[in-house]
Amino acid sequence: MTADIAVGSVPPFYREVFDTCSPSGLPVDRNVFQTLLRLSGLKSFHLEKIWELSGPGREPVSRNSLYKCLALIAWAQQGKDPSGKLLDNFSGQDLPVPTISNLYAIKEMLQRELRTDPSKLNLTYLEMKQLDVISIDRVPEKIGIILKHSEYLVTSQRYKTSVRRRYNDFLALHELLLARFPYRLIPRLPPKKIIVSEDAHFLEARRKGLLRWMTLMARHPIVSRDPLVSYFLRDQGQDVQHRIRELFRRAPDEFMTSELSSRAKDLVPPETSTEFASSREQIRVICLGVSKLKQIFDLGVARNEAFVSNMHDLGTQLSALGNEPLPHSDWATGGNRVWQRIKKGFSNIANEFTSLSLKAASHASLFEERVSFGLASVLDILVAHQDMCDRLERGVVNDHNAALNKMLALKKRRIKGVIRGQDAESVDTLEQRMLEQEAAISSLELRHSFSLYCAQLETQLVHLHLNDLATVFNSLVAVNLQSHVEMSDVWKQIQPTVYRFLPDQEASSANGNP
């Protein structure tokens, strides 16, 4: 492939197209890139060839890839066969300018959310659930010769991809998302266990935690559209943690790239600070309640696991007693055959208790999958909201107050200088510094407004996720109904065998007969 195209030497139209496709200056989203190809009006076989020649492969759609695409489109529109050799023979302003039918269509794609009320989330619960479906499975074998590590197969329904990822890859993505979206819901990752051997129970719990985290990120209406998330779910290469840091570590935060930043003050009503404080306290109370619910559900999971183990052990012991090998003698029994009958009964019902254990295990799995997992996801979002509020207070508010204090100090110094009769040049210099500081404060105020605007939408997103509580409790009822019905059927199968092999008088008593 050809060398990179120098940014400063291309026709101005090239830069216009890139700025349209990526207002933030970040790598271009592939959906936007594909829309651009379609807007060229070329036939599909030409588009496929251009994609192969200029497409980014595993990498994001960079500025250089986009420029190559534009040049190849122009040559194809001129009737030439697009090829790498054409790129080798042309450079700079000599590159042809393509005809793109309607760049406004791309602007419409990128600014769709701006056509609705920006103070509302404008997303339904069902629409959010349909943004993506993520699955994460642990790769059975551990990778590595000396220091082995687990890998996970991450599948995205939206991108139709399956990629292998290590825990450290998730960690790199988490760090980059926090830097890129400081005022958004970025949940915590499950903890990393700092020991050489990791037991299966811990690895399974971490897999579920990663699945919840990645699902929340893939369904976030803003974060999920960022090239960071797209790259993580699409790239097939190795050592993702290093390459994703190298590619995105210089990316500015959302405030610096959002088209809403410049009008953030207009998006924040006067009562926002009060509403934010009230909503924050409400979500804190909800978080505390859901945390207690999760503790109760965790105890239920532990009881289910204990019941599964108990029923399995009970079946094993009944089988052992039923197969007790020692001979019977009248000397010991006095002719009483009770033990022989009970042994036979134990042998017959041992398998039933094993079946009971299997049924209980199936229901315990359903309970974890549909009830505990869903409640844990809600708790992840609630805790993420608290973390976001803490970041907002520690970052924006403190910086803003520091800037105000500096401005006040400069004003005081100016007054003292005038009183003391300082020369005009010194006063002018001080006034210039004050003006510069006022500009800085204005920017901080704008950032503060933007952070509150984001906090409002993220709070709405939390309430959207609270729909999961209804799903959790519907599942709780359904799973328990199914469990009780199926377990009751097994107990009913056990009952006649137990009665049949009990002594007559005890069986009669158990049946309620006098």
Residue 333 lies in a domain: yes
Q: 449 and 303, same structural domain?
A: yes
| Same-domain status, 240 and 196 | yes
Number of domains within the chain = 3
Measured over all CA atoms, what is the biggest interatomic distance in the chain, rounded to whole angstroms? Answer: 125
Query: pLDDT tier at 195 (50, 70, 90 boundaries)?
Result: low
Domain of 145, CATH number, reads 3.30.1520.10
Give the three-class secondary structure for 4. Answer: coil
Do 152 and 74 reside in the same domain of the chain?
no
Task: Note whether residue 477 is domain-resident.
Answer: yes
Q: What is the pLDDT of residue 419?
A: 46
Q: Where are the alpha helices (DSSP H) in 394-466?
A: 398-419, 424-465
pLDDT value of residue 215: 97
Q: Is residue 64 part of a domain?
A: yes
Q: What CATH number is given to the structural domain containing 40?
A: 1.10.238
Whether residue 279 is contained in a domain is answered as no
Q: What percent of the chain has pLDDT over 70?
A: 78
Same-domain status, 426 and 310: yes
Is residue 410, in this structure, part of any structural domain at all?
Answer: yes
DSSP conformation letters of 126-141:
HHHHTS--EEEEE-SS
Nearest to 256 by CA among 309, 182, 192, 191: 182
265 located within any domain: no
The three-state secondary structure class of 41 is coil
Helix (H, G, I), strand (E, B) or coil at 248: helix
Say what the pLDDT of residue 44 is: 80
- How much is the mean pLDDT over the chain? 81
pLDDT grade for 339, boundaries at 50, 70 and 90: confident
Same domain, 106 and 132: no
Residue 339 domain-assigned (yes or no): yes
Q: What is the pLDDT of residues 21-75, one digit of tens each?
A: 877 677 777 777 777 888 888 888 888 888 777 765 555 677 888 888 888 888 8
Q: Do residue 72 and residue 196 come from a single domain?
A: no
pLDDT of residue 1: 41
Q: Pick from 16-20, 295-299, 327-331, 356-360 the range whose average pLDDT is largest.
A: 295-299
Q: Which helix (H) or strand (E) holds 294?
A: helix 272-322
Those residues whose C-beta lies under 8 Å from the C-beta of residue 393, and which sit 6 or more positions away, are none
Among 344-348, 463-467, 497-501, the least confident range = 497-501
State which of 219, 245, 260 marks the end of a domain: 260
Task: Clarify whether residues 310 and 365 are in a common domain.
Answer: yes
Instruction: Identify the weakest region by mean pLDDT among 194-208, 220-234, 306-320, 494-508.
Output: 494-508
Range of 60's domain?
7-110
C-alpha distances in Å from residue 397, one per residue of 227, 383, 391: 29, 20, 9
- For the cut 50, the answer to whether the pLDDT of residue 177 exceeds it is yes
Tokens of 358: 């299997």
211 and 358 both lie in a single domain: no
351 is a domain residue = yes
Give the pLDDT mean for 369-398.
Answer: 89
Percent pLDDT > 90 in the chain is: 29
pLDDT value for 422: 47
Strands (E), 258-326: none
Instruction: For residue 53, count other CB atoms closer than 10 A to its CB.
Output: 19
Are residues 153 and 137 in contact, defined by beta-carbon separation less than 8 angstroms?
yes
Q: Does residue 157 sit in the same domain as residue 33?
A: no
Rounded distance between C-alpha atoms, residue 4 and residue 27, angstroms = 15
Q: What CATH number does the domain containing 426 carry?
A: 1.20.1270.60
**d(C-alpha 153, C-alpha 143), whole Å:** 13
222: pLDDT confidence band, cut at 50, 70 and 90? very high
Q: Select from 212, 243, 260 the last residue of a domain.
A: 260
Q: How do residues 422-469 score in pLDDT, each as one tens digit? A: 445 555 655 565 555 556 556 777 888 899 999 999 999 999 999 999
The 3-state secondary structure of 319-339, one letter per residue:
HHHHCCCCCCCHHHHCCCCHH
The pLDDT assigned to 166 comes to: 92
Kindly tell me if the per-residue pLDDT of 238 is higher than 50.
yes
Both 143 and 219 in one domain: the answer is yes
Least confident of 292-301, 385-394, 486-495: 486-495
Q: 312 and 350: one domain?
A: yes
User: Residue 171 pLDDT more than 90?
Assistant: yes
Q: 479 and 419: one domain? A: yes
Average pLDDT of 487-508?
72
Last residue of a domain, one of 75, 110, 145: 110
DSSP state of 19: H
